[in-house]
Amino acid sequence: MPEIREYRPSDRTALYDICVRTADAGGDARGMYSSDDLMGDLFAGPYAHLEPHLAFVVDDGGEAVGYVVGTSDTPRFVERYRAEWIPLVGDRYAHPTSADEPMVALHCGPEHMLVPGLDDYPAHLHIDLLPPYQGQGWGRRLIDRFLATVDAPGVHVGMLTANVKARGFYDRLGFTVLPVPDPGPITYLGIRS
């Protein structure tokens, strides 16, 4: 029976693998960018590195098959992303392809996470499960664990509006839409913690 446990550094490869396999609006993004690590370097690695106490995995037989990662304090996370994570990634994406470019721009400008209107929801998270583990309650359990651990009055997620399955999940868990100016392709949702 799988179980939820805290993230360990030895989960890094699995974390990155789950991330890219779910990064195309919930579908498999392998092969979309010059490196299959790009999605992990943006949406999983920095959280596991900077906020390991808020990183939890679903463990099946010793292998991570799903995760939730995040931060209690988005402005502080943005500062640390710039000061600590960008130097660690170094020049891995110095020569981006045209597909890479918008993603590398997000990496080089972590301040995109500072969205006006989210002050009451200073925490944020990312959650992904491998397809065989979806639809069995693991997502709800991961969110419960995150909400029980996070030190913030509210948590937001920024999700691609095109990911209608994820939207059904968040709605069911009680997240509500947070109006922000110029959301672009992203829908911002929030929940009190």
Cα distance from N-terminal residue to C-terminal residue, the chain: 28
174 belongs to the binding site for ligand COA (CB under 6 A): no
Helix (H) or strand (E) holding 10: none
Stretch that binds ligand COA, among 32-40, 90-98, 105-113, 161-169 (CB under 6 A): 161-169
69 belongs to the binding site for ligand COA (CB under 6 A): no
Ramachandran angles phi, psi of 176, nearest 5°: -125, 160
13 belongs to the binding site for ligand COA (CB under 6 A): no
Residue in 52, 132, 137, 174 binding ligand COA, rule: CB under 6 A: 137
Handedness of CA 45, 76, 184, 170 (dihedral sign): positive
The region that residue 135 occupies, defined by phi over 0 for left and psi between -120 and 50 for alpha, beta otherwise, is left
Residue in 40, 103, 128, 147 binding ligand COA, rule: CB under 6 A: 128
DSSP state of 115: -
Length of the chain: 193
Strand order in the sheet with 123-129: 3-6, 56-60, 63-71, 123-129, 154-160, 186-192, 176-177
73 CB neighbour count, 10 Å cutoff: 16
183 belongs to the binding site for ligand COA (CB under 6 A): no
185 belongs to the binding site for ligand COA (CB under 6 A): no
Of 76 and 140, the one with the shorter C-beta distance to ligand COA is: 140
Stretch that binds ligand COA, among 5-13, 89-97, 108-116, 166-174 (CB under 6 A): 166-174
Shortest approach of ligand COA to residue 136 CB, angstroms?
5
Shortest approach of ligand COA to residue 127 CB, angstroms?
5
Tokens, residue 134: 């979806």
**Sites for ligand COA among residues 14-43 (CB under 6 A):** 22, 26
Binding residues for ligand COA (CB under 6 A): 22, 26, 127-129, 134-140, 157, 159, 163, 165-166, 168-169, 172
